[in-house]
A and B are shown apart, each in its own frame.
Chain A
Amino acid sequence: MIKRRRKVIIIGGGLTGLSAAMKLCELGAEVVLVAYQSLKRSHSVCAQGGINAAMNSRGEGDSPDNHFYDTIKGGDFLAEQPLVRDMCYQAPAIIHLLDRMGVPFNRTAEGHLAFRRFGGTLYSRTAFAGATTGQQLVYSLDEQVRRYEHDGLVEKLEWHEYLGAVLDSEGICRGAVIYDLRTNHVFCLPGDAVILATGGPSQVYAGSTASTVNTGAAATMSYLQGAKYANGEFIQIHPTAIPGQDKLRLMSESARGEGGRIWVPKIPGDPRTPTSIPEDERYYFLEERYPHFGNLVPRDVASREIYDIVYQQKLGLGGEPMVYLDLTHKSKEFLDDRLGGIIDTYTKFTGQDPRTTPMKIFPAVHYSMGGLWTDYETDAQGMIDTLSPRNQMTSIVGLYAGGEVDCQYHGANRLGANSLLSCIYTGLMMAPGIIQYTKNLGKAPEDVPTSLFDQAQTFWSNRLTSIRKMNGSVNPYQLHKELGNLMMENVLIVRDNGKLAQAVEKIDEIEEKFQSVQCVDSSDWANPTASFINQLYCMIHLSRIITQGALMRDEFRGAHYKPEFDLKQPADFDPHEYIDYLERSSYEEVPAEAFPPGHLDYMKRFEANNEKWLKTSIAKFKDNKPEITYAPVNTSIMTPRPRKYD
């Protein structure tokens, strides 16, 4: 018998897609890499600050276990612990691999890798290449994939879009439906497995740091085909971005990691220039409110505090929703070397120099912790079974997902510099399992009846033809803006059930309007509008998953903040008390005097809330709406406890 090469279709050319392609080629598979644009243009290049790995190179006592703890605590205990542990343990090896591939990581005087601090941890754990780390990682992975392309193992299909999975009668994914964005033809790619490495959905919001391709359409398409979508309501709002018309540009957390300070003038609307305001008239609110973590509290905390300063305390700069991010106390040489990329960005887009003037920033939608539900398998010791075909598989057999489009690594709030890690980790770790899966497959793609592919092709061809014929009165780009504004107004940092319920209804109205969309581009060559209308349809469904999930989750966890359900942690509370309480309550009725006043009540509230809500929300497409259920989270390694950063 001739051994045939396994053919895996990868959708997306960012960090996850490239890592998976490289690993699969190394394992002997053939890869077709489908990307919406040329490779090297993916959204991963926007990541700035760095990538986490606990290598303890500064002798601070850091370890992968500490990295695991910070990640789980940062995510408010909603992440899958066995996976996160494995990721944190693999992180140093991933950094070494990237270093061998030629990533220009900043180095120490002796020539070792340099590390800096980031949010949500007290250790220097973040490896970085200036302030364009994502770009540098994408390039070196792209170079390795180009090498495989040169050797004939990778076929690239750039300027092509994924429309959906080809499912057989048993619901197994047998390939992908692809749309050629130049010729506007639809065709099917048969394959042993399909990987979605399609990134996040931040384009459903009008004010985000996302690239234009981040519509979440591929993930939504899978959801519409029956895949589960998990934890959709957990959307990260990054505390520091530059306001703009077309997008809000990220101002990396590394600015604070390298010593940047957030402040506002103590006098509301103070008209003085920032540099002329004396120290004692500045309110360094993060440092004062969180003496322990200071400016490096996790993102959910920092965004909420900025929101509070601007909207509750009315201390925004000149009454506008902005605060200062100040680097002017650092030397020019230091800033150019460590943060050059973001300093250039700020200067180019605002005309002001952050080396001499504090930057004006405000929070922006940044990342989705939730995404397609994906599976994994542990062995008898509870460690990840690295050969399991279930690793990173969605609820559709043969359809895999990794990177921002999955859901398991960041819980209710992602720590900075963990996304590059989870993207590369998932790309690499799923590959052996996928090879195993293809070996177990009864049929080769050639043995699947061609009628299956013909049907899918016809369905999508017809659908795009009908989209091109849409001739109503609504401009799709305008409707997208309307949807984005609706999400900004109702499903952002502070969430309220009344507004969320209204938003659900308004999304229905937007879906109504969608029926009256006009395909404003009549060309049958390189027509991006038809593709966009299909993405817009997906974004409407995705907004519904996010909003419905947020409405139903009646608690405050990580990035999902409903003041109404804040458990009001006592100011002098110590999270260790909770561990004592759990132990004691396992064998006796704990008397209130055992803890400082009010603490026992708080811990009971916390325990009851976790009982009800420490669960993964899972959306399934049913009757044109998400049907949301809740599944347990694996918390077998570390006991969930109250978070505290002050």
Chain B
Amino acid sequence: MKSKPVILKVKRQDTPDSKPYWQTFETPRKPMANIISCLQEIQRAPVTADGKRVNPVVWDCNCLEEVCGSCTMLINGRVRQACTALVEKIESPVTLEPLSKFPVVRDLQVDRSRMFDNLKKVKAWIEIDGTHDIGEGPMMPDAIRAKRYVLSECMTCGCCLEACPQFKAGNDFLGAATFSQVRLFNLHPTGQAQKENRLDALMGRGGIADCGNAQVCVEVCPKSIPLTESIADIGRQTSLKLLKDFLSK
């Protein structure tokens, strides 16, 4: 007996300025299938459920093992990575939509460059003297390393920002991912040299004070990064800095 096909309802958009529309596809149900393999089936047979030959659905992906951050989309209304969305665990019909907080490029593909630009604003790097062989890095307790590692797993996928009520297409809110990166770099012995600069960047418009504490970011993070902890920690760091700045005036 043939098993029931997977039904995919895809929100499509041809160009950044054109109107979105919906199309339905049916793909064969296969063992261990995920949303990516279904979209690949559509590439191999780009025909809608009602038999219309259309352009294949366009989406972003690369590693297919949830480590590159590329394939974020809304699956049945929930923001997540398409690669770890296993078909057998999702209710069919499955709706696929592009992220709503970022400009659509085409179909499920969006432009997340805002996230990468934010990393520049907060100087998300360690200022090293150079690449030459000048010896070991700073000694560090493994507990600090473990704390940093969890934060460093952020793959700039955008899930936390999509879910955040404060982060909107038109505003300049930096968002949880960026706050958490500041915490990551401020935790590093060498990174601390730039700590004040990073906090400054978070104390202006779109900074930490704009966070409404909705706490949804942490719920959708595919890497289980303790984002609310980061927000609280950065809140403390900026408050302390405010006080220090005030006293030293």
| Interface set of A (CB-CB < 8 Å, partner B) | 22-23, 26, 37-43, 45-46, 93, 96-97, 99-102, 104-112, 114, 129-130, 132, 135-136, 139-140, 143-144, 146-147, 149-150, 158, 182, 211-213, 243-247, 249-250, 337, 341, 345, 348-351, 428, 475, 477-478, 481, 520-523, 525-526, 528-529
- Supposing A104-B149, A525-B15 touch, asked if A348 and B66 sit within 8 A by C-beta, the answer is yes
Q: Which residues of chain A have C-beta atoms less than 8 A from B84's C-beta?
A: 348-349
Chain B binding surface SS class: loop
The list of the 6 closest CB pairs from A to B, nearest first, reads A99-B137, A143-B125, A245-B37, A246-B37, A104-B149, A93-B133
Cβ < 8 Å to A, chain B residues 116-174 = 116, 119-120, 123-128, 130-131, 133-142, 145-146, 148-149, 152-153, 155-156
Contact of B116 among A38, A245, A345 (CB under 8 A): A38
Asked if B126 contacts A529 (CB within 8 A), the reply is no
The answer to whether A40 and B69 touch across the interface, beta carbons within 8 angstroms, is yes
Supposing A37-B70, A250-B65, A481-B44 touch, asked if A525 and B126 sit within 8 A by C-beta, the answer is no
Query: What separation, in Å, do the CA atoms of A211 and B136 have in the docked complex?
Result: 33
In whole angstroms, how far apart are the Cα atoms of A150 and B123 in the complex? 9
Chain B residues with Cβ below 8 Å from A37 are 60, 62, 70
A212-B61 contact in complex given A40-B68, A244-B32, A428-B131, C-beta closer than 8 Å: yes
Known A38-B112, A112-B139, A529-B56; contact A211-B148, beta-carbon cutoff 8 A:
no
Q: Are A521 and B55 in contact (CB under 8 A)?
A: yes
- CB pair B149 A130 closer than 8 Å: yes
B190 CB–A CB distance under 8 Å: yes
Please tell me if the beta carbons of B62 and A100 are within 8 angstroms of each other in the complex.
Answer: no
Q: Is the CB of A526 within 8 A of B105?
A: yes
Q: Known: A43-B62, A104-B148. Is A182-B45 also a contact (CB below 8 A)?
A: no
Query: How many B residues are at the interface, by size bracket?
Result: 35 or more
Residues of B within 8 A of A (CB): 14-15, 30-34, 36-37, 40, 43-46, 55-56, 58, 60-70, 83-84, 86, 89, 105-106, 109, 112-113, 116, 119-120, 123-128, 130-131, 133-142, 145-146, 148-149, 152-153, 155-156, 185, 188, 190-191
Q: Are B127 and A147 in contact (CB under 8 A)?
A: yes
A264 to B139, CA, bound (A): 43
CA distance A150 to B145 in the complex (A): 27
Given contacts A38-B112, A45-B68, contact A146 B119 (CB under 8 A): yes
* B125–A147 touching, CB < 8 Å: yes
Q: Are the CB atoms of A211 and B142 closer together than 8 Å? A: no
Report the minimal beta-carbon distance from B112 to chain A, rounded to whole angstroms.
Answer: 7
**Contact A101–B63 (Cβ < 8 Å):** no
Whether B56 and A520, one on each chain, are in contact in the complex, defined by CB atoms closer than 8 angstroms, is yes
Bound together, the chains give a CA A132 to CA B146 distance in angstroms of 13
Question: Using Cβ atoms and an 8 Å threshold, which residues of chain A touch B148?
Answer: 102, 104
Query: Which of B60, B127, B131, B156 contacts A40 (CB under 8 A)?
Result: B156
B120, A150: Cβ atoms closer than 8 Å? yes
Query: Are A475 and B32 in touch, CB under 8 angstroms?
Result: no
Contact of B153 among A93, A102, A132, A149 (CB under 8 A): A132
Cross-chain contact of B152 among A43, A104, A350 (Cβ < 8 A): A104
CA distance A129 to B145 in the complex (A): 9
